[in-house]
Amino acid sequence: MTINVNKKAIPLLLIVTLPLILGSCKPRGESRFRDVDQLKPVRITQLERIRDRGALRVVTEYNSISYFIYRGQPMGFQYEMLQELANYLDLALEVSVSNDLQRNFIDLQEGNTDMIAMNLTVTSERKSKVSFTAPLLQTRQVLVQRLPIQWEKMNKEQLESSLIRNQLDLAGKVVFVQAGSVYETRLRSLSNEIGGGIEIREVNIESEQLVQRVALGEIDYTVCDENVGLVNTTYFPQLDVSTAISFPQHVAWAVHQSSDSLRMIINQWITAYQKTRHFAILYDKYFQNRHEYRNIHSEDYTLGSGKISRFDEVIKTEAERIGWDWRLMASIIYQESRFNPEAVSWAGAFGLMQLMPGTAKTYGITMESTPEAQIRAGASFIMWLDDRFRDEITDPDERIKFVLASYNIGLGHIQDARRLAVRYKADPNVWHGSVDEWLLRKSDPAYYTDPVVKYGYARGIETCNFVKQIMGRYEHYKNIMNSDVIASWQPIVEIRSASWQ
C-alpha cells in the first residue's frame, strides 16, 4: 500500500508534534509546565525590601514628646517605641526629622521613607492616601488658651467665665494651626457648624511650638492633641487645654498603601507590645508622670536651649580648627564623659575628652585644666590620628571610623587589625565588615599571635560598640541640630489666612 504525503503539510506537522516530542522527554512526575511557572514574576514585598536593606527608614517630629535630645541622649515616646520595633524586626533604625506634614506624606508616597511615626490622627481623608497601623493612642483635639492674669486669685466661676468653654464663642477669634494638620480641617468643619466666623491661620510651625507661643502671649489660640497639651501645662501652668473641639480620635503610624506586609507585622507587634509592662512604663514616662518632667528651657534639653551642651561654642571652634563636624565631636564627648569635665575613669583617663595621662601630658593638660583646654587637647589628638590615616584612607567618612576606633583602643591595635585584613584578603581601608571584624579577632590567640600583629591581645568588642554608638548618636545630633529643624522654632511665618464664613 502506498501512502501519499502532502509535502506542504510537513512543516505544520512538525510544529504540532515537536512540542509533544520534547515534552515527552521530561522525567516522569515532573510537570512539563514547570519552566513556564518559573517565568512568572515574583512580587517582592515592602518588608522584604526593608530586610534586604537592613534598616527601617522612619520620619518623625521634633518636640518634647516624640523625639528630642536630653543631656546628650536621644529620647521621646515615638523614638523609644521605634527602637523597640526595630529590635523586634532585627533591623537598624534610620530616623529623619521633619515637622512638615505635607512633605512627609509626599516622601512616603514617593518611597523616600518607609513610615511616618508621628502623632498622626487617623482620618478618612488621610486613609485615601496612606495606610495606618493599629492605633497607638487615643486622644482628642483641644483648644489651647491662656489663663487670665492673676487667675490664681479667681474662684472657679470667675475663671470659667473668662475662658472659652462653648465652641460657639470661637466665632470672631483668630486660631493658629500647623499647616497640613487635621486641626485646620476640624476648625473648618467647626466654623461651618457654628455659622462661620473662625479665622484660621495656617503656619509652617510645629503644633507644640504654637502651644508655647500661646503660653508666651505671642498668639492667643491654637489647637493640639490633648495629650500634647497636658504635657505642656506642666511646663507652662498658665495654659488651659480643657475645651475639647473634637470627639476622641485614634493616633497611629502611617505606611505606604502598598506596604501590606510591613503594616501587618507592625500591627502584630503593636498589639502585643501594648499589653506589656514596658509599654505601660513608657506611656507613663511621657504622658502620665508630667510633674517629673524637667524644664524644657534648661540647657539639658536641646529642644528648649537650641544646644547640645553648655560647651557647644568651644566645641564648634575646635572642630572647625581640625575640619570636623562639631556635632560629631559633641557625640565623642558625650560618649566619653557625659559632658562632665571632672569625670575620671578607672584607668585614669580624665576630663571631657577622657584622655589618658600620657596623651594628656603630650598636649599639656592636667586634671586642673579648664574645659576649654580639655576640648582643645582632645581635638588636637583627633587631628593627629586623622593625619595617620589620611594618605591611605582617602574617603573622609570612612576615615572617621578608624580615627574613632584608634581614639578608643589605640592606633597600634587598629593598625594590627588592618594588617590582619591584608593578610586574609580583606580591605584594610573599610571599617564595617572588614577591619572591625579583624579587630574582634584580636581577642583570639590564633590571631593575636600572628606574626603581623605587633600589639598583641585586644578586646575589640568595646571599640566596635564605641564607634557604632558615637556614629549613631551623631546621626541624632544631625537630625536635631540642622537648619531646617532650627528654623521651625523661629518666629512665625504665615502661609495663608482664611476666614470661613
pLDDT per residue over 423-463, tens digit each? 999 999 999 999 999 999 998 889 989 999 999 988 898 89
Name the CATH topology of 312-480. Answer: Lysozyme (1.10.530)
The residue-averaged pLDDT of 263-289 equals 92
**What pLDDT shows up at residue 234?**
82
Comparing 47-136+252-292 with 141-246, is the CATH topology the same?
Answer: yes
Name the CATH topology of 141-246. Answer: D-Maltodextrin-Binding Protein; domain 2 (3.40.190)
Going from N- to C-terminal start, the domains of the chain cover 47-136+252-292, 141-246, 312-480
**Residue 73 — pLDDT band, cuts 50, 70, 90?**
confident
The DSSP code for 290 is G
Distance separating the N- and C-terminal Cα atoms of the chain: 102
Exactly one of 61, 292, 336, 475 is catalytic; name it.
336
**What pLDDT shows up at residue 236?**
87
Which amino acid is located at 129 in the chain? K
The residue-averaged pLDDT of 161-166 equals 94
Give the residue with greater pLDDT, 71 vs 81. 81
**218 catalytically annotated:** no
* Residues 489 and 209 sit within 8 Å (Cβ to Cβ): yes
| pLDDT at 72 exceeding the cut of 60 | yes
Residue 162 grid cell: 473668662
* Each residue's pLDDT tens digit, 396-407: 999 999 999 999
**What pLDDT shows up at residue 10?**
42
* Each residue's pLDDT tens digit, 279-310: 998 998 888 765 544 444 455 556 556 788 99
For 318, counting Cβ atoms within 10 Å of its Cβ (0-12 exposed, 13-18 middle, 19+ buried), the class is buried
Between CA 423 and CA 450 the distance in angstroms is 10
**What pLDDT shows up at residue 213?**
92
**What pLDDT shows up at residue 206?**
87
Query: Considering the domain 47-136+252-292 in this protein, what is its CATH number?
Result: 3.40.190.10
> By three-state DSSP, how is residue 130 classified?
coil
Q: Which of 65-79, 108-122, 168-182 has the lowest mean pLDDT?
A: 65-79
- Mean pLDDT over each residue of the chain, to the nearest integer: 86
Is the four-CA dihedral 408, 413, 414, 417 of positive or negative sign?
A: negative
Between CA 67 and CA 97 the distance in angstroms is 9
The DSSP code for 455 is S
| pLDDT at 496 exceeding the cut of 60 | no
Give which of 206, 217, 163, 167 is closest to 187, Cα–Cα.
Answer: 167
The residue-averaged pLDDT of 468-494 equals 72
* Residues 385 and 411 sit within 8 Å (Cβ to Cβ): yes
Cα angle at 90 between 440 and 334, to 5 degrees? Answer: 60
